[in-house]
């Protein structure tokens, strides 16, 4: 499966199910993709990112690891929270002309929360990433939790910040799923 096919498979999950028709991965016909989804996943960077890449390399060479300053009693572990990640990268991104935007998007039909993270350079160059998590419930508290979780991981990945002594093996254990709230009639909450 090539990159385009993988992206389309992902995008198909965003389309509200039609009770009359099987999903494409179940042998049904392909669904039309919303323009906003196609744009976010297929148009992930500006035409030229040379200046942004150079500025990001300088910033990353100075960034410290994010301290694990929060406790997770469920896994009996510590982690770098969103503020710690921001504190590790903000002082180094800004002087290099790099800013960050993180937009929250939700889809009530698939009960999914998305964070669209964009690193922008003062030259107008940019790169972006879309991260997601499925949510069990629809309430504001769990949406906030899911959004914070995704913002932390997306910012860490985009800026290149690692927590002190990263314990990636903890991802093998099942975690409680965050939940999301969304408008029932629209998949894009801009």
Select the more confidently predicted residue: 134 or 116: 116
pLDDT higher than threshold 60 for residue 190: no
The average pLDDT across 32-44 equals 68
Model confidence band, residue 189 (pLDDT cutoffs 50, 70, 90): very low
The average pLDDT across 27-48 equals 70
The average pLDDT across 30-47 equals 70
**pTM score:** 0.67
Greatest mean pLDDT range, 33-47, 116-130, 155-169: 116-130
Using alpha carbons, list the distances in angstroms from residue 133 to 58, 114, 125, 136.
31, 7, 28, 10
- What is d(CA 119, CA 128) in angstroms, rounded to the nearest whole number? 6
Q: Which CB contacts under 8 angstroms, 24+ apart, belong to 139-143?
A: 139/179, 139/181, 140/181, 141/179, 142/178, 142/179, 142/180, 142/181, 143/106, 143/113, 143/178, 143/179, 143/180, 143/181, 143/182
Q: What pLDDT score does 179 carry?
A: 43
Q: Locate 101 and state its tokens.
A: 């935007």
């Amino acid at each position: 499966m090539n990159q385009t096919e993988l992206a389309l498979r992902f995008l198909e999950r965003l389309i509200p199910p039609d009770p009359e028709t099987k999903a494409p991965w179940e042998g049904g016909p392909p669904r039309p993709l919303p323009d906003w989804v196609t744009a976010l996943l297929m148009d992930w960077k500006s035409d030229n990112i040379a200046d942004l890449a150079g500025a990001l390399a300088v910033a990353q060479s100075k960034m410290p690891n994010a301290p694990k300053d929060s406790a997770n009693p469920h896994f009996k572990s510590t982690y770098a929270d969103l503020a710690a990640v921001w504190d590790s990268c903000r002082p180094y991104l800004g002087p290099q002309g790099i800013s960050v935007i993180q937009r929250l998007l939700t889809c009530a039909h698939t009960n999914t929360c998305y964070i669209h993270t964009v690193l922008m350079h003062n030259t107008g160059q940019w790169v972006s990433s879309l991260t997601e998590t499925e949510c069990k419930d629809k309430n504001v508290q769990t949406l906030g939790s899911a959004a914070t979780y995704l913002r932390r991981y997306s910012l860490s990945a985009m800026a290149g910040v690692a927590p002190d002594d990263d314990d990636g093996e903890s991802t093998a254990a099942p975690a409680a799923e965050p939940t999301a709230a969304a408008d029932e009639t629209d998949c894009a909450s801009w």
